Amino acid sequence: MQQTPDSPALGLLWLLALCLPSSALAAIQDPAALERGLDSVSVEGLEADLSFIASDEMRGRDTPSNEQRIAARFLRDRVQRLGFDSGARYGFISEYHLSFLQLDSDASHLTVGDTKLIFGRHYVFSRMNDMGDLATQGDLLSIGEGRVSDLRKNALKDKWAVCQSTGKSMRRLIRQVIDAGAIGLLLLPQDGDDVLARHKKSVDSMKAGRLMKYQPVEFPTLTMTASGARAFLAACGLDELPDLGKSLRAEASEVRRIIDPRGHRYFENVIAFWPGSDPELSKEVIIISAHYDHVGVRGGEVYNGADDNGSGTVGVLGIADALAAYGPMKRSVALIWVSGEEKGLLGSRCWTQRPWLPVGCRPIANINMDMIGRNAPDEILITPTKNGSVSKHYNGLVRLIESFGKQEGFRRFKSADDYWRRSDHMNFADNLGLPVTFLFADVHKDYHKHTDEVHLIDFDKMRRVVRMIMRALDAMQASSLEISAKAVPSQEAFEAQMRRGIVADDLERWRLIADHYQRASGKYPRNLTELMRSEVLLESGLGRPGLERDPWGNMYELKSGDDGVLLTCEGSDGRKGGEGEAADTVVR
């Protein structure tokens, strides 16, 4: 959540004076150190790193995948050898967990009379999010083309409504048949409607699994394919759909099953920390970010994502090399490689909602890189801009970056405002209230295609983008930093948000461990002590040092019932849930 304190009493960022000339914002703080840092960024180094990150062997770094885990460990090892500190709560790798559901297609079917119809061949779910365990059985009644109001009262009660599709929106029709007492809706396709082609992506993702929370299916709605419609009518002894209100003289039973309603996947961000040298300014952290995932393998083709976003990933490594050559800055710098961007900015969303930095630190700004290695060598896109669609986010950080453009061969900065919501900087702005800027070289003909390869990258352009950011980092070591027109989170506000995130992470871990316990033993643990003493804690791989205590030093509580477990904590004010909130609980 976005924290905006009423008073920036503890804030060390001052209001932006937009009238300041760029030269005032861009004074070099340590010329010798900056020169060392700039000289360390080389075309050869960037190309070597990208040749690994975007190689066929990494199979497109999909979220999640074993190859992405290898990429995460490559990034960790690179910065560890440079002398960076770990920047996550339990090391360099910051895990987050998301619900994952997969349809059991073998156990999901539609039976009409003695005929069994197969999901993904004969029918599909009309609504792609209808992933849940379900069994629906009843007689079949024709509603023609959907004139539900013409039916006699209670005609549809406890029956399947069978409708000839007209191509119109189903929302109103679904509401009408629900109100009429139907148990489900079955749609026959229009002539020429290739239902499987329209629903291919959703069917494939249901079978492979998708990131979503389990929710009961409220009302089953099925769409038949052309072959499915023929088989369905034949099973009813019919050649065509009867008139409105006529029975099909058959019973239908639809069963759908989820392989694991409690399923989850875990993902990894990589975070390195470069501590500042000044006793006070080191508490302020500048975040440099890029997403290191891509889209994996599609249709047998490896999508290497050399530009998207191998270039940004390696660009942050270039910053790491430059910082190692520069030495400690006055302020601290966190390098964050996030995963799951291609799946909806997942990694940055999870980190910014549940942030973690070393004790006493707080973030003050974010510079995000995505696709910095293609297109015109002297052009780069940036957002937010002063007069664009997201001008309310415009800040001095943008002006600071732009002030170094010409020194690095960028004659113009074009607007990337249209991409504000499409990369990870948005979450740093929305969830943490930080001034952000996003550097981007624009899309191209190989965007999200298997042809986005290393040999097409302009490594000199990448080098100059990294150097431009390094110049900005040096300038941001001034004692008085003027980059935000708004008050950024105070230390107190950020620490409160961080504690809430720690509690949420801990309770999620304990819930997952309790799930493992239940699967192994057939029952839920009676209390936290029982769970901690079980072998499941080790076998699950989810245990962590000190996990049993909340940020205030109190033991988490676990109570078990027939239906699951309830977890909670006691906050700093002695109330359940912590700091006056409603109880932080996870119930299964």
Residues 370 and 463 in one domain: yes
Backbone angles phi, psi at 347, to 5 degrees: -65, -45
Closest by CA to 462, choosing from 26, 34, 49, 27, is 49
> Do 293 and 193 have their domain in common?
no
Peptide linkage before 64 cis (omega within 30 of 0): yes
Query: Is residue 472 domain-resident?
Result: yes
Task: Evaluate whether residue 508 is within a structural domain.
Answer: yes
3-state secondary structure 118-143: EECCCEEECCCCCCCCEEEEEEEEEC
**Residue 366 within a domain:** yes
Domain containing residue 196 = 109-256
Neighbours of 92 (CB within 10 A): 24
99 domain residue, yes or no: no
Based on the structure, what is the number of domains in the chain?
3
Residue 100: pLDDT above 60?
A: yes
**Residue pLDDT, tens place only, 407-451:** 999 999 999 999 999 999 999 999 999 999 999 999 999 999 999
Mean pLDDT over all residues of the chain? 90
- Three-state secondary structure call for residue 292: coil
Alpha carbons 183 and 194: distance in angstroms, whole number: 26
Is the same domain home to 319 and 458?
Answer: yes
Give pLDDT, residue 571. Answer: 61
Looking at per-residue pLDDT, the higher value among 523 and 349 belongs to 349
CATH of the domain at 563: 3.30.700.10
Average of per-residue pLDDT across 466-470: 98
Output Rg (C-alpha) for the chain, integer angstroms.
Answer: 28
The answer, yes or no, to whether residue 539 has pLDDT greater than 80, is: yes
Structure tokens at 443: 């899309």
Same domain, yes or no, for 532 and 383? no
Q: pLDDT of 514-534, one tens digit each?
A: 888 988 898 889 889 999 999
The residue among 445, 464, 486 that closes a domain is 486
User: What are 176-208's pLDDT values in tens digits?
Assistant: 999 999 999 999 999 999 999 999 999 999 999
State mean pLDDT over 333-340. Answer: 98
116 with 249, same domain: the answer is yes
Asked if residue 213 and residue 165 are part of one domain, the reply reads: yes
Grade residue 20 by pLDDT with cuts at 50, 70 and 90: very low
- Give the angle 417-420-425 at the CA atoms, nearest 5°: 130
Q: Are residues 442 and 581 in the same domain?
A: no
Here the CATH number for the domain that contains residue 480 is 3.40.630.10
Residue 10 clears pLDDT 60, i.e. is over it: no
Whether omega for the bond prior to residue 368 falls within 30 degrees of 0, making it cis, is no
How many angstroms separate the CA atoms of 334 and 271, rounded? Answer: 7
Q: Give a yes or no: residue 18 inside a domain.
A: no
pLDDT at 563 over 90: no
Kindly report the number of other CB atoms within 10 A of residue 322's CB atom.
24
Within this chain, do residues 71 and 124 fall inside the same structural domain, yes or no?
no
Q: What is the CATH number of the domain that holds 239?
A: 3.50.30.30
Both 364 and 505 in one domain: the answer is no
Query: How far apart (Å, rounded) are the C-alpha atoms in residues 48 and 230?
Result: 58
The arithmetic mean of pLDDT across residues 334-352, rounded, is 97
Long-range contacts of 424-427 (CB under 8 A, 24+ apart): 424/289, 424/290, 424/291, 424/338, 424/341, 424/345, 424/347, 424/348, 424/368, 424/370, 425/289, 425/366, 425/368, 425/383, 426/345, 427/345, 427/348, 427/349, 427/351, 427/352
Would you say 496 and 580 are in contact if contact means Cβ atoms under 8 Å apart?
Answer: no
Same domain for 371 and 412? yes
Same domain for 423 and 319: yes
Tokens 């029918």 sit at which residue?
Answer: 123
Q: Where are the beta strands (DSSP E) in 257-319?
A: 264-274, 284-291, 297-298, 301-302
SS (H, E, C) 204-254: HHHHHCEECCCCCCCCCEEEECHHHHHHHHHHCCCCCCCCCCCEEEEEEEE
Domain presence at residue 1: no
For residue 265, being part of any structural domain is answered with no
Last residue of a domain, one of 256, 283, 307: 256
Could you tell me if 583 and 508 lie in one domain? yes
Any domain includes 118? yes
Residue after which a domain boundary falls, among 486, 520, 536:
486
Least confident of 192-201, 370-379, 545-554: 545-554
**Residues paired with 111 in a beta bridge:** 116, 253
DSSP track, 527-545: SHHHHHHSTHHHHTS---T
